[in-house]
Amino acid sequence: MPCSDYDPASLPDLLPLYYRRLFPFSQYYRWLSYGGVQKNYFQNREFSFTLKDDIYVRYQSFSTQSELEKEMQKMNPYKIDIGAIYSHRPNQHNTVKSGTFQALEKELVFDIDMTDYDDVRSCCSAADICLRCWTLMTIAIRILDRALRDDFGFQHLLWVYSGRRGVHCWVCDEAARKLSSAARSAVAEYLSLVKGGEETVKKVVLTDPIHPFIKESLAVVEKYFPQYALKDQDILGRKESVDKVLALVPEDILFTGYKIPESRWEHFLLSQGTTKKGQHFEKEIMLQYCYPRLDVNVSKGVNHLLKSPFSVHPKTGRISVPIDLKELETFDPFAVPTISLICEELDRPKPGEEQSEDTNKNEDEKDAAEKRKVRDYKRTSLAKYIKHFDQFLDTMARSWKGELLKKSEFSYCGCM
């Protein structure tokens, strides 16, 4: 729809409406307060705001949901970042004795950015993406989600589209939030296979025995590799692409006589039967071209800030929305609503809406305002993403209640 096209110049006009009527403050507060089990958990959380003209404001903190709402509606940030839970309130960090202001906890987070794959995608580069290379994000989510759940035992993983060219993962389990920097680094290193910078040609090297985690990851990659790498990226089609692949294998492997990429790959796989034990060239190629590329520095620092869910990307206008893994295969980053679209959707009247407004006149004003806000986002394309966020929070709440029940039963037994 042409009327929904996003114009960055319109952002200052759209943000006040978004924060006043559409931002899911209630769910947001519910998430970051984690059931209020731990005192001052929300109050000691750092937020940072990027304002118009790239003015960056750190160490923001809020006592209540209402206080957060008022400040965000006053400042209308272009971008919101979430940081750690500190030993003291971040907005008072200048009044605390030097050395005592410490980052204590934060979700274990992962940041996967499409620009880190520029050496293995031919369709796009830099900040540009398309549906062909978006498959890399699908593969990354599949591999990391399985590993974090099965290998580490985490349960509460929130996957979020960044709004432009990547995805973020927030591991919200209590055990994950309490991890030290060393432990976070260990998890990130365990999950990292692609090593080396631009100068490194061969970025994946496998040795025997192949770790079960790598075998599980390969099973995911093998599902997508023929369509993504051989067809969409045509890695064995153009000479330049073929030369890149040949640089990863011994010199005696050639593709002469085979013109179709799939035939070249089959020939290559057959030739693997003659390689020495401990050589896994075809697996290394698949992993180098498809395995998730993590920014380890984002994951290992407790005090590292990460872009918040439901923040707006200033360049694309797209909302940073949670991803429902049940619909991962059909997730389309270009179908994610822009702030201009959802604000436009607010102006579309619904049948019977005027009558509904009349019946609400006698309601308590605050209650009516809250109901109106709920009704507002449900009128827009943002509704299904907030619904998924609600479901995530409900699952996490059941887990908290279960843990509290166990603790109370334990305490009761201890008193007997």
Per-residue pLDDT of the chain (416 residues; tens, 9 = 90+): 334 589 999 999 999 999 999 999 999 999 999 988 788 999 999 999 999 999 999 999 999 999 999 999 999 999 999 999 999 999 999 999 989 999 999 999 999 999 999 999 999 999 999 999 999 999 999 999 999 999 999 999 999 999 999 999 999 999 999 999 999 999 999 999 999 988 899 999 999 999 999 999 999 999 999 999 999 999 999 889 999 999 998 887 777 777 788 888 988 887 766 556 668 999 999 999 999 999 999 999 999 999 999 999 999 999 999 999 999 999 999 999 999 999 999 988 765 555 444 444 555 665 656 666 567 999 999 999 999 999 999 999 998 776 666 666 655 555 54
| The amino acid at 171 | V
Q: Is 405 helix (H, G, I), strand (E, B) or coil?
A: helix
What tokens were used for 205?
């090297």
Q: Which of the residues 105, 113, 232, 282 is marked catalytic?
A: 113
Task: Give the pLDDT confidence score for residue 11 in this predicted structure.
Answer: 97
Please confirm, yes or no, whether 409 is among the known catalytic residues.
no
How many C-beta neighbours within 10 Å does residue 125 have? 14
Question: Would you give the DSSP letter of residue 150?
Answer: I
Task: Give the pLDDT confidence score for residue 372 in this predicted structure.
Answer: 62
Torsion-angle region of 34 (φ positive above 0: left; ψ -120 to 50: alpha; else: beta): left
Task: Give the pLDDT confidence score for residue 259 in this predicted structure.
Answer: 79
Question: Cβ(151)–Cβ(213) under 8 Å?
Answer: yes
With a CB cutoff of 8 Å and minimum separation 6, the contacts of 344 are: 3, 4
What tokens were used for 405?
């029940």
Q: Is 202 helix (H, G, I), strand (E, B) or coil?
A: coil
Question: Cβ(280)–Cβ(217) under 8 Å?
Answer: no
Question: Cβ(120)–Cβ(112) under 8 Å?
Answer: no
Question: Cβ(14)–Cβ(339) under 8 Å?
Answer: yes
Closest by alpha carbon to 65, among 328, 280, 370?
A: 370
Please confirm, yes or no, whether 150 is among the known catalytic residues.
no
Q: Which of the residues 111, 173, 345, 376 is marked catalytic?
A: 111
Q: For the chain, what are the domain ranges?
A: 8-119+155-190+295-348+368-374+382-404, 195-290
Instruction: Give backbone dihedrals phi and psi of 158, rounded to 5 degrees, phi first.
Output: -105, 110
Q: Reply yes or no on domain 8-119+155-190+295-348+368-374+382-404 having CATH 3.40.718.10.
A: no
Task: Give the pLDDT confidence score for residue 120 in this predicted structure.
Answer: 94
Task: Give the pLDDT confidence score for residue 283 in this predicted structure.
Answer: 95
Question: Cβ(59)–Cβ(48) under 8 Å?
Answer: yes
Question: Cβ(214)–Cβ(204) under 8 Å?
Answer: no
Give me Rg for the CA atoms of the chain.
Answer: 24
Task: Give the pLDDT confidence score for residue 369 in this predicted structure.
Answer: 60
Please confirm, yes or no, whether 71 is among the known catalytic residues.
no
Question: What is the C-alpha to C-alpha distance for residues 311 and 281, in angstroms, rounded to an integer?
Answer: 42
Cross-strand pairs, 51: 55
Rounded to 5°, angle at Cα 370 from 393 and 368: 150
What tokens were used for 319?
């909302």
What tokens were used for 13?
């006009």
pTM of the model: 0.91
Question: Cβ(22)–Cβ(319) under 8 Å?
Answer: no
